[in-house]
Amino acid sequence: MDGYLRPKREQLWLAVRLPHLPLDVLGVHGDDTPIVVAEKRRVEVVVCVNDAAAAAGVTFGMDCTKAQILSDCSVLQRKQPQERHALKDIADGLYRFSPYIQIHDCEPVAQAAVLLEVSTCLTLFGGLLNLIEAIRQFLNATHYRFALGAGHSPQAAWLLSWTHQEITGHDIRADFIEQLKPLPLNLLHDYPDAVAMLEKTGFTTLGDVATQIEGRTITGLKKRLSREFIGHLCDVFGIDQALQQKSLFQKPVTQYHPQEVYRDEIEFEYPVATTELLHIPIETALQNLSDHLRQRQLECQEVVWIFYDIHNRTERVAVRCDVGQSDWRLLYDLTLIQLDNRALSFEVDRMVLECPQTTRTQDRRQTLNFSGLRAQSKHQQDLEVALAKVKAQLGDDAVFKMIYCDHHVPEAMAEAVPVNASCTKDLAPELATAVRPGWLFAQPYKAEMRKRGIYWRGYFELLIGPERIHNDWWESPRARDYYLAQRDDSARFWLFQDLRDGQWYVHGEFA
Amino acid sequence: MTLHTHPTDDTSPDLQQLLCRRNDVWRGMAQSQDAKPSVSTGHDVLDATLLNSGWPKHSLIEVCQGCGHAEWQLLRPLLAQTTTGHVALINPPTRPFPPALIQMGIDLDRLIIVEASQKADWMMAVLQLARTEAFTVVIGWQPKQGLSYTELRKCQLASMESQGLLFLFRPDSVLQQSSPAALRISVGVETDHLGVTVVKQRGLLAAATARVQLPLPRVWLGGFLYHKLNQPVLVPVKPKRTQRRHLRSV
């Protein structure tokens, strides 16, 4: 405990910047050979260099070809999903130090940081310096290279992480602002256009901007620069935009919620050869999951079963349902349907149940039951259970409903959507009395023009028509004359003649 | 050995009474027509022909049709009046056209389509959805592989457990095969009407088939074709009446 009392309600942010994240996620740690990470922006450019490549003169934003000529470096492609995953892992790990965590991704320079608000955690860790030491120890155990910065706002901490800031543990807001002033404007990477304009007008450091704000007003800058950039500057310096003075209130900090992945493992005394013997352990595992979800007021839409044999070979079975569940029964039925449709390729020695994503039960809209809606909700539940079982067997695409889309061309008037989607019940006014068939073929069938007349599995007699339908001029041209026609066997069909080539087609049937 | 029997209890029903209590026992010529729950077809003339004046619930209804399709004309009134529950279409011949269904008054929100071309999948879907209370009408089209008597029997048993209606559309060619369906009808589109023949109704003798005609929509009967406006109209010429002059005899 350092004995220094920080002013109450003053936030204190730590930035953990990861300057070599693109290289670290690809497993590149050694600096012996020049290695760069490239990304396709307008052209293929370098976004991250290791020390060997930097020593050879390769810089950020350099063309890849030039970098290779300069340093004969190896070029690796950037993997952004892995970077995001790594950031999330680090944030989950830093959750032990503070519950207020944000992730900042600076895309223009391909760097990211995890920002922690630690003002409420200092007592627990015995001061800022002890806290920083604990964070360093945690980060050193990972293989990610990092730089730390501290500030009175997340933006300030991010900027100060680019400097060799000496964190004393006693700094307050005024001290951080003084430390920000000498920093060059080009550190504001997210706003290159605004920085270029400021540099043209003679501003070079953040201190120049601070002097402008303190001496005069921010109004002049507001007229020339974007509102977003002005808001960012105000956040950096802790200024209230409207009052143009030190902000009286701190921005609220949202709490970070690390993702909890439920995992349950069952090991068998002997390898299980048939899926029937798995029914009881599956039921037990799902009941445990159901208890876990209910206790936390959560529900899930997907569970994953991972089966292992004695040689650690795995087989995964994913079970999904449309609506979140906290009860085990539907997931059990769906799991059995999946297992009935597949034979295990080995004898199961160990079985793992994972629930990768959960949602809060309160997030789902609940219908207030004032007037006997309980029967409807039971029907709805029955419907969901039945459709889930059918989809588990046939696939999600096999169950759908049709909706009406307002369009001229018949094939564009119908669309297949998931069962949960809502559909309009109103027709365009001109269609209220139009002649339309009950069935529309997926593709129109070509009819022949014979001596006796139009022929497609029988000769047609035109009864009603024509109705001319053509699409809009900016789409691919289509113009058709539609008729209701009767075939030899009295069946009624919807025919059209394509006005571009004169060909006849059968498009639908009146049933 | 003397067999001692207890005197019969007057309150225990005898065999005749037990049989009369059930409405699914065939008793030869002595048919009784107990009232079964049913839903009006929406066609008065068809209601008058059917036992219980409508589509029977808890029963498999088999509809055989030839080359022409008549599903929507036959079931339009039923589907338009279905305001609760859902309607399932299992393996329809093609996708329904939403503007036509909206014109018929059918609620697209309640219409769910299941595409199951394989017989095993089709059977699973029909049996599962027929037993679900949420579906008030389940309509299935026979898969290409056809259905055996056993499979039809399973559908019939599923319909007995359901609270709604179960329709099965099959081709005309199966009319000669036996079927456990409680109601079998044959439907055919004619020039100016929809012909419905009731082939079998559980509770009626086999010879008692009935045929009714349902009207078709006015537009199906045809109108004036606009493209014929340019063609010369042939007006029949009345033969001139030759006037005979009767010569007076001088």
ipTM score for this prediction: 0.80
Please answer yes or no on whether A398 and B67 come within 8 Å at the CB atom. no
- Name the percent of chain B lying above pLDDT 70: 75
Running DSSP on this structure, what letter comes out for residue A184?
B
Query: So what's the pLDDT on residue A21?
Result: 92
CA distance A135 to A96: 10
CA distance A106 to A161: 13
* B249 pLDDT tier (thresholds 50, 70, 90): very low
Query: So what's the pLDDT on residue B30?
Result: 54
Q: Which 3 state secondary structure label does DSSP give A94?
A: helix
* Nearest CA among A164, A173, A60 for reference residue A110: A60
B-proximal residues of A, 33-72, CB under 8 Å:
none
C-alpha count within 13 angstroms, C-beta hemisphere, residue B41: 23
Query: Low-confidence residues of chain A, pLDDT below 70?
Result: 1-9, 30-31, 214-218, 240-251, 362-377
Q: What angle do CA A262, A359, A339 make, to 5 degrees?
A: 55
Strands (E), chain B: 38-39, 55-56, 60-65, 86-90, 95-96, 111-114, 135-141, 165-171, 183-189, 193-201, 210-215
Q: Which 3 state secondary structure label does DSSP give A107?
A: helix
B193 and A CB contact within 8 Å: no
Q: Which of B73, B97, B214 to mutate to test the interface with A (most CBs of A within 10 A)?
A: B97
CA distance A38 to B156: 66
List Cβ neighbours of A427 (8 Å cut-off, separation of 6 or more).
A404, B99, B102, B103
Query: So what's the pLDDT on residue A1?
Result: 39
Whether the CA torsion B172, B176, B177, B183 is positive or negative: it is positive
Structure tokens at A316: 């995964």
Please answer yes or no on whether B132 and A383 come within 8 Å at the CB atom. yes
Please answer yes or no on whether B109 and A422 come within 8 Å at the CB atom. yes
Q: Which residue has the higher pLDDT, A30 or B100?
A: B100
- Cβ atoms of A149 and A115 within 8 Å: the answer is no
**Helices (runs of H) and strands (runs of E) counted in chain A:** 15, 22
Q: Which of A341, A380, A490, A499 to mutate to test the interface with B (most CBs of B within 10 A)?
A: A490
Identify all chain A residues contacting B115, using CB atoms and an 8 Å cutoff.
394, 398-399
Of B94, B99, B113, the CB nearest to A439: B94
- Quick check: bond before A466 cis, omega within 30? yes
Query: What is the CB neighbour count within 10 angstroms for residue B83?
Result: 8
Query: So what's the pLDDT on residue A103?
Result: 92
Query: So what's the pLDDT on residue A173?
Result: 86
Structure tokens at A49: 């260099």
Residue B172 host element (H or E) = none
Q: Which residues pair with B169 in a beta bridge?
A: B63, B141
Q: Which residue has the higher pLDDT, A233 or B141?
A: B141
Query: So what's the pLDDT on residue A3?
Result: 43
Region of B128 (left: φ > 0; alpha: ψ -120 to 50; beta: rest) is alpha
Of A394, A402, A483, the CB nearest to B96: A402
Distance from CA of B56 to the nearest CA of A (A): 22
Residues B44-57, mean pLDDT to the nearest whole number: 91
Please answer yes or no on whether A379 and B101 come within 8 Å at the CB atom. no
Question: Is residue B61 pLDDT above 70, yes or no?
Answer: yes
Query: So what's the pLDDT on residue A136?
Result: 93
* B1 pLDDT tier (thresholds 50, 70, 90): very low
Query: So what's the pLDDT on residue B15?
Result: 78
Please answer yes or no on whether B121 and A434 come within 8 Å at the CB atom. no
pLDDT tens digits for B199-210? 988 876 655 578
* Nearest CA among A94, A159, A86 for reference residue A131: A94
Query: So what's the pLDDT on residue B56?
Result: 93
Structure tokens at A19: 């300057």
Cα A360 to chain centroid distance, Å, stands at 18
B-proximal residues of A, 366-385, CB under 8 Å:
379-380, 382-383, 385
List Cβ neighbours of A200 (8 Å cut-off, separation of 6 or more).
none
Query: So what's the pLDDT on residue A245?
Result: 57
Residues B147-173, mean pLDDT to the nearest whole number: 94
Query: So what's the pLDDT on residue A458?
Result: 94
Q: Which residue has the higher pLDDT, B243 or A343?
A: A343
Query: So what's the pLDDT on residue B51?
Result: 85
Please answer yes or no on whether A380 and B134 come within 8 Å at the CB atom. yes
- Cβ atoms of A460 and A486 within 8 Å: the answer is yes
Please answer yes or no on whether A404 and B108 come within 8 Å at the CB atom. yes
Identify all chain A residues contacting B221, using CB atoms and an 8 Å cutoff.
463
